[in-house]
Structure 1
C-alpha cells in the first residue's frame, strides 16, 4: 500500500489549514493511500527545541516520514515564511530524510503577498534535505476557507479545485516514482 504523511506545521488546532489537510487526507485515502499525520505542535516542545534526535516521539515521527512515499508539508505563513515549529521539526529529520519522496507544500496566508513563500522559504530547506521531487504546491488565502455557523470550515470551490489538481499530480508522480524504484530492483 502507498503511504503518505502530512506534516502539520500549524501551532493552532482547528485553524483554516485543518480543512485543507483534511481534504488532502480524504483525497489520498480515496486513492488507496495509508495516510498518517504529524502534528508538530503536539510533539514535546523540549524535544524539538533541544533537538533530541533520540526522543521516542521524534523517532516515531521520523519513522512515518521514512516510510512515506509522499509527504505533504502544511503550514500557515508567518512573517513571510513557514512556522518556527515546523522548522524545528524539519531540523530533526535526517539530512537526506526526504530523498526519493514526492513532496507537496500546502500553505495558507492572510493575503497573496506571501504567495512565493513556498519557493523562497520552504523549497531551499527541502532541497538541502535531499528532496528532488517538490511539486509546485498550493497556496491558499485565509478568505478561501470560511468558518461556518456550525463551527466547521468550508473551502471555496476554486481552492478545492486547485487542491484536487495538486493531489492528482502527487498521486501520479508517486506512482511513477514507485514504478521506477521497482524497475531498479
Structure 2
C-alpha cells in the first residue's frame, strides 16, 4: 500500500507532526511505499500563489494522487485546522481523495478542540472526494509528553485510539507495538 502523510504544522517540533510520523511507524510492514509531505517545507511563494508549475508543489500533489492511504495531521488553532494545511489542500484537484482511505489526526491544547476534526477538517476532506475516512484521532498536549530525546511519549489511551483507527488498514495483532522505540523518532 502506498501511504502519503501530510503534516500541516508550521512548527518543526510539533506534536501533530510527531503524531503523523508516529502513525506511519504503526504501519511499517504494510506500506509498500511511503512519502511524507511537511507543508512548511514547501516553497512559500508557489504555495501561496498556487503555482502548480513549481516542481516541489507538483511532487507533493502527485504524492497524494498516488497514495492509497493519506494521513492528514494538523494542530488545531482557533477551532480549525492550520492555515498552512488549508493552503496545501486548496492546491489539490476537487476529487484528489476519491477512492483513497484517509486518516485525520489533530492535536490541540485541550479537549475543547476535539470537535474541530468533525466540524472543520472532515468537511474539507469530503469536499476533496474522501468517502472512506477512518476514525479521527485527536490528542491533547497532556497526551503527548515531551521525551528527553526530543520526541514525544503517547499516553496509553492515545495509543489505543490510534491503533483502533488503524484496524481497518492493519489488524490489531499486526500493528507495531514498539512504543518506546517509536517515541524517540
TM-score (norm 1): 0.87
Match of 2:50 in 1: 51
**Cα deviation, residue 16, structure 1:** 1.6
Unmatched 5+ residue regions in structure 2? 172-185
2:130 & 2:20 partners in 1: Cα distance? 21
* Preserved CA contact (<8 Å) 1:111 1:142: yes
**Cα deviation, residue 54, structure 1:** 1.9
**Cα deviation, residue 136, structure 1:** 2.1
Report runs of 4+ in structure 1 exceeding 6 Å deviation. none
Match of 2:148 in 1: 149
Asked whether 1:128 is paired with 2:127, we answer yes
- Number of equivalenced pairs: 171
Q: Which moved more, 1:86-95 or 1:119-128?
A: 119-128
Unmatched 5+ residue regions in structure 1? 173-185
Match of 2:114 in 1: 115
1:165 & 1:20 partners in 2: Cα distance? 15
**Cα deviation, residue 60, structure 1:** 0.3
Q: Is the partner of 2:51 in helix, strand or coil?
A: coil
Cα displacement string for residues 143-164 of structure 1 (whole angstroms, at most 9, x for unaligned residues): 1011123433211111111111
1:32–1:57 CA distance, 2 compared to 1 (3 A): closer
**Cα deviation, residue 86, structure 1:** 0.3
Match of 1:92 in 2: 91
Match of 2:35 in 1: 36
Q: Is the partner of 2:102 in helix, strand or coil?
A: strand
**Cα deviation, residue 20, structure 1:** 1.5
Cα displacement string for residues 53-97 of structure 1 (whole angstroms, at most 9, x for unaligned residues): 221111100111011000010000011000000000000011111
2:169 & 2:92 partners in 1: Cα distance? 21
Task: Give the alignment's Cα RMSD to 1 decimal.
Answer: 1.4
**Cα deviation, residue 131, structure 1:** 1.1
More helix by share: 1
1:132 & 1:11 partners in 2: Cα distance? 27
**Cα deviation, residue 111, structure 1:** 0.6
Match of 1:5 in 2: 4
